[in-house]
Structure 1
């Protein structure tokens, strides 16, 4: 079946489950490009009209429902002798697997699951559909926590023709309602009873009724009381136990009236004010617990009786018959007694009594011996799932049980090697010496890591995901190297090592190319400084890479760098070209301003600052100095055609004067004459000095005015 494209649309990928009636496969819907689950009727039933009818009824029942907690039906069809149903594919586990792995569950988690099951039942009941087989195996829980009810294969529509239907027992006896066990009509309350058992199992980790045979379990549903949840798990809130006790009443009238009523109780049972509510009380004892069991009608009697024919009465009867028919070997001759009537009159009664006692003793001994053969002590089967095989064998032997050989060894994803993942007769009570079958994991199927060094990281990730590795488990560590960016340099696990695709974590060291760093600025540095800086950074500069050209920069000064501008990312080993000033252009002219500057006040210091603008740039600072007497400051400027050089003087941070020369003036041969910046003259002896109170006498002029 695997690899087959059903009806030209559903490509069968792998088997994911199955039951007595059908097998379930994971498939790909090539038309809608999505994963689906395909349930296929087993081949032995393809000519059985009853199974085909039941199989089709499952599709009809589930297709009539549209609810987030019910598995959706997409399609139903037949290809030759293959009958199939296409349904929603749920990525996750069924509740039975979760109970086996983690039960007892926390009350909050159990109630959250039960609420969603009950919500689904409310929707089904509202649509007049009774599920009739609520059990953990039929509850799917997706990875997002969403609960989905599935397997409506024995669901019944509530109509006049089915309300009175009796005598048919279909489903799982551990989750039967009493009325189901009797073969009576089952209704909404039967589903609620089964949900009560599922909730019981979630919070205790145990089933309420166990037995050696289906009939013994069915009778317990009818007649016996179960251990209350808080006896098995005292941490269960009383409000949660109350929900279970009410749902599992044998008397239907004392259960929840509807799924809606039970849903409301589930939604509120974990509210703080309800956690310690009183234990629920019922007005009368559960009637079916003490009632004489009615005759089990119809096919249920045949079904159950066929599984539990006891050999004890038959063998006891045989043993008794053997003793009854047996005649004594020593028979007394009555004529001999008559020969001595006085002497032997007592012999006959004594012999009769003695013989009778011997026969009774033999019968008793025989009966006790036969009973001893069958009256073997019973023990609870230890739950050994998740133990190592050695621990499981030791536990079973200590309990008086035996391990059935051969043990089944299977690749099992998610289960460590040598760990028991399944056992027979779990949660049952059996005779001492009974055989228990163990199913042991050989560990997940391992793959061998290939050598990915030198390959593309992106291509490698795609290849690993195709092998089943979770992309979230693939990490990379960037590193500088001479390899092209994105090339794998190293890997963990190493090439040749085994790994589990579902759990393995891969780490790759991936090249991000050569190391880069910001390109330094070389402009205005001397040639020697620039070359030394480049070499210190691991960059390459040769004499042939230095271009010299005239400029207004000082000779030997870097005026350009190529191909990397300052702060651009550059890698080690990159070649750099420099343009270096070879001196002034031929048509450039030089001129020197001779500026004579006096302090603002004679005998007092002044701070002098001189800036100039010429062909080399604007506002270049030439002088900054303090003086106490008159000094001359030569300022050399460079002019190119059609330009003007300008010198500006600041004294004590105040603008004082500006001098300029044009290119044509200098070219015409104008001599450099001194430019004077005088200070303030000393006031006459009979004239008061200028002070803050007397800042001016009205006759003083400034240097600029002069």
Structure 2
């Protein structure tokens, strides 16, 4: 089918679902340029009038409904032997997939879904249509969370009296109502019972009744009580459990009277005043003690059958019983024995026997005739055994034998068999007519899962989700990495990308998991200007804080200079986003004194050139460099000082890299203006060399030079006082 075009309009693109009666494909409507879903009757049923009637009934039932929660029917058609229905395409998943993936659902989500299903049923019931097959597989959930009810294949008008087809009971036995299982009239309340089971499954992740065979499950619907949902999931509010208990009563009279009444209850069940309401109590359901009418005499109820043949016999017995009940007769085993009548003359026996024998002979003759005609018309060939061969090999062998492969091919998951290998064939070890269709079942390989996107999710959640799918925890590894975007513990990357299929039994997974931001060394900010510190913090991704992040206080350091940084000292490890506080100088304290100390200095030699260098220490810091200057005459050097009342300033002078003098300037002297520097003059001219001292002859008195009464003048000593001492140095 894929790649073909139905009625020249619907291009079949891919198979998206299927059931026992039909397959569903995604297709494109080239006329209206939109995607649609096309349901196609299976090839093996195209000659079965009963299935064709059911198939057309689905289209008629759904087409008569127009509701946002019911899948719309666009077209119905037949091309050659292909019967199809064109429906609204819902992009998303069905409720069964959601339950398998995420159950138990949150109460709010389950109620949201149940309300929309109930709304669709209320609309269908208003138009006298009973769905009769409400189950998660028939509930589609679009990407906009809009719920759509589909598959009205067994829906019938309210006046219809049976749910049985030839040799089978129509519907899904796990979602049967008790009256549905017995084959009696099913009405609106039967759909509400099925919806109660769907709600039970959404909230607990399990079905209320399970069994080894369809008959045993049907018997449980009739005779057994289900485990209360709150016992399975204690998080379910009592008000919501009450809705399930009421909708799943075995006696229809104890259920909701209508879908509208159930909607009203669902609408208010999560209100705070209802969450802890009392649990609903009912009288014992008499239906629970009745034996299922369809059970044959001598068969013990509740005992599961062991073979398919027994199941079919039980089902046929149930349907036979249903037919009797439908026509107003009592079950055979319940009929009262009639009183024997007086034997009448059996004149009718001979004619009846004669007619019966004649019809039997004619039937055998016709059967023999058609058998031999069929033999003459078509050759027979041996059917090749193609199990365990590839689909291409099987097709080649069957076609070489003159046989055909039934379309569509059935596919089945098998973890032990590679994809594309034939698992089963419906005919083998026998002869068949040329042209006979052989139905093949082909392996799709193991049960594949689609990889979820775990980016920005906790790694432990990702690991738990994979283990829940059957992945061995030893095949899940994680590596910690630094991340600028994600907090510690979140998934940064995954080895299998989102949407890729994997085999849980074999696949291995590796994740990169964030261990937070990468730390770095805190830079030194003390001594920088406020703007420089701000810019550096911004570039590193650090923040000022808390509050404004900056505290201003007086200081002898320049205004705007950073005095302290807190709580991180230079070299401490920090990460982006850390908060740093700064203390910044607001200027000099109120008692600080700014004073200019002038020093007149001459070159070392008169008319010579000298290099003058000055260092000073004051309240702003020690050993500050005033700078250098070359002079060839007396010049004044103004040194700007900042004085603290508790300390004194020092100014040291170097001439031609020779230390000359240090001046001590006190706070009080500067304040009073008495701190004046004495000039530093040129070195005095060199003195005359003293006469050579001669040693007088023995007995003679040495000559006297100068008189001890005359001390040397200040000029002779190279200056006066302290300056002279410096010059001597």
- Normalised to the residue count of structure 1, the TM-score between the two structures is 0.44
- Normalised to the residue count of structure 2, the TM-score between the two structures is 0.43
